[in-house]
Structure 1
Amino acid sequence: MIYEFCTQTDTGLLRENNEDAALADEANAIAVLADGMGGYNAGEVASDMATKIISAELGRWLSDVGRQANVKEVRKAMDICVHNANLAVYTAAAEHAQYAGMGTTLVAGVFLESRMVLGHIGDSRCYRSRNRQFVQLTKDHSLLQEQLDAGLISPEQAAISSNRNLVTRALGIDEFVQLEIHDHAVEPGDLYLMCSDGLSDMVDDDFIAKVMETDATLEQKAKQLIGSANACGGRDNITVLLVQANAGSKKRGLMARLIGS
């Protein structure tokens, strides 16, 4: 499997600074996205620390063990790396008054040959588009999601709720954090979208699905998604990380290469 990555971020129309962060390590097929929170510029610090630590540590581990690591090993490695990032953000917040209370959401994926290991904390999301079927792979850790699960509100009420941004789990807030991890089969042609709530709160899933299904390039799709979020008000920072899975070309035999066929 060959993976193609595209990352774009935008401050939005109402915020003065961008507290989102995203990194894609194409060599090791790692994608990490975070949406920070906290006073002053602390949200920026938390999301930047989380994405850099997790991407770097997972990248080093994958480089050492090779791309043949199995799902169980990757799940354990991701859990350890996220724990280390959580402790780093938590410690920084405790040691520096200007960072007090900072934290961040997280969504991270490691793309193997035929499976993806996906971890998340908070309400940043991962979606998959496959054969014109668009599904949300993550489930928000939020008060709103808990109310939906309990049947206390309807999806229509949730769409206009004032509690949309109240997360029940975040990296860096406590000494320990629970990472939700799942793994999913990957098929050639799959397109994955990781995003902050600056996109998912402003643009409905049906529209996102239509953009994902077009023949546009990844860069064009990312720009269209961000532009649509801004057109709908751009109330928050908007970050989009797209991952396209393509079948790798089979190695040609020696004779075929010699005759150029």
Structure 2
Amino acid sequence: MEFEFYSQTDTGRVRTNNEDSIALEEPCALAVLADGMGGYAAGEVASGMACEFIRAELGRWLSEAAANASDTDVKRAMDICVDNANRAIFSAANSNPTYAGMGTTLVMGVFRSGRLLMGHIGDSRGYRWRAGQLQQITKDHSLLQEQIDAGMLTPEQALYSANKNLVTRALGVEDLALLETHLHEVQSGDIYLMCSDGLSDMLRDPQIADVMSAHTSLADMGGALVAAANEAGGRDNIAVVLVRAQGVAEPVPRSWWPFKRLGGLG
């Protein structure tokens, strides 16, 4: 199975700097996206550190070990690399007053033949486009999502909440960060979208689906998603990664770790 990658970031129409970062390591089928937070340029620093640290460290491990590694091995490598990135960002934030309080959300994917290991922290999201249907396959770590889960708000009411940007997990703000990771079955023709909230806050899922359905090339699709988010207001930086799977998957080795066949929200 082969994977085609496309990525794009945009400052948006309101912000003057871009705190979103993307890193791809295509030979290892690794994609990383981060949305930074913090004063001055600290958000840019945090997201850039996260992406480059994980790309370099996990990319090196994947290039050396992935051929013989189980999915459980890859998950553990993801956890270790994210923990190391978290400690580096946390240390920088505590040693330099300019970076005090900085942190970043994170969504990352390791694509293997027939499956995807997707991990995330915060409200940067992962979606799957399959057979004309769009499905969110990550669940936001946010106050808003907790209120929805508790029945305090409906998803419709949440669209107009003032608490949209309050995340309950972030990378670099504490000495420990928990990466939530799920294993997903990948089919030929699937397109996976990873994005910052600069896209998902501007466009509802049906609008994202409409844009994706109108294009076949990943470059056109990604450009159209960014343009649509800007047309809707562009109130934040926008980051988009698209990955298309093609070909026949190799047989999946036996593992105790189950697939999340229905979207991986559990």
Please tell me the TM-score bracket, short chain as reference: over 0.9
Task: Compare CA radii of gyration and give the structure with the larger one.
Answer: 1
Matched with 2:14 is: 14
Aligned residue in 2 for 1:148 = 148
**Structure 2: runs of 5+ lacking an equivalent:** 251-266
Is residue 245 of structure 1 aligned with residue 240 of structure 2? no
User: What is the root-mean-square deviation in Å for CA atoms of aligned residues?
Assistant: 1.3
Return closer, same or farther for 1:88/1:151 CA change in 2, 3 Å cut-off: same
TM-superposition CA deviations, 1:22-63 (whole Å, max 9, x none)? 111110000000000001000000000000001111110011
Q: Deviations over 1:153-187 (max 9, x none)?
A: 11111001110000000000000011101110111
> Does the 8 Å contact 2:66/2:74 carry over to 1?
no
Specify the code of the residue in structure 1 equivalent to 2:91: T
Q: CA deviation at 1:230?
A: 0.5
Instruction: Tell me which amino acid in the other structure corresponds to 1:61.
Output: W
Q: How far apart are the structure 1 equivalents of 2:216 and 2:108?
A: 25
Deviation at 1:11, TM superposition (A): 0.2
Counterpart for residue 28 of structure 2:
28
Q: Which residues in structure 2 correspond to 1:190-205 (within 5 Å)?
A: 190-205=190-205
Report the CA distance between 1:245 and its aligned residue. Answer: 0.4
Could you say what secondary structure the match of 1:203 adopts? coil
Tell me the SS of whatever aligns to 2:27: coil
Q: Deviation of residue 212 (structure 1)?
A: 2.1
Structure 2 counterpart of 1:71: 71
1:133 match: 133
Give the alignment's TM-score, normalised by structure 1: 0.94
Which residue of 1 is the match for residue 255 of structure 2? Answer: none
Where has structure 1 moved over 3 Å in runs of 4 or more? none
CA contact (8 A) 2:50 2:89 kept: yes
3-state SS, counterpart of residue 134 of structure 2? strand
Contact map agreement 2:113 2:249 (CA 8 A) in 1? no
Cα-to-partner distance string for 1:101-148 (whole Å, 9 max, x where unaligned): 000000010001111111100000000011112110000000000000
Amino acid at match of 1:123: D
Deviates more, 1:43-52 or 1:177-186: 177-186
1:67 is paired with a residue of what secondary structure? Answer: helix
* Partner of residue 57, structure 1: 57
* 1:248 Cα deviation from its structure 2 partner: 5.7
Q: Which runs of 5+ in 1 are unaligned?
A: 251-261
Quickly say closer, same or farther: Cα 1:145–1:249, change in 2 above 3 A.
closer
SS at match of 2:87: helix
The answer to whether the aligner puts 1:182 opposite 2:159 as a matched pair is no
Aligned runs of 1:94-133 on 2, under 5 Å?
A: 94-133=94-133
Please tell me whether the aligned partners of residues 120 and 138 of structure 1 are also in contact (alpha carbons under 8 angstroms).
yes
Once the two structures are superposed, residues 40-91 of structure 1 have per-residue CA deviations (whole angstroms, 9 ceiling, x without a partner) of: 0000000000000011111100111143422100000000000000000000
TM-score, with normalisation over the residues of structure 2? Answer: 0.92
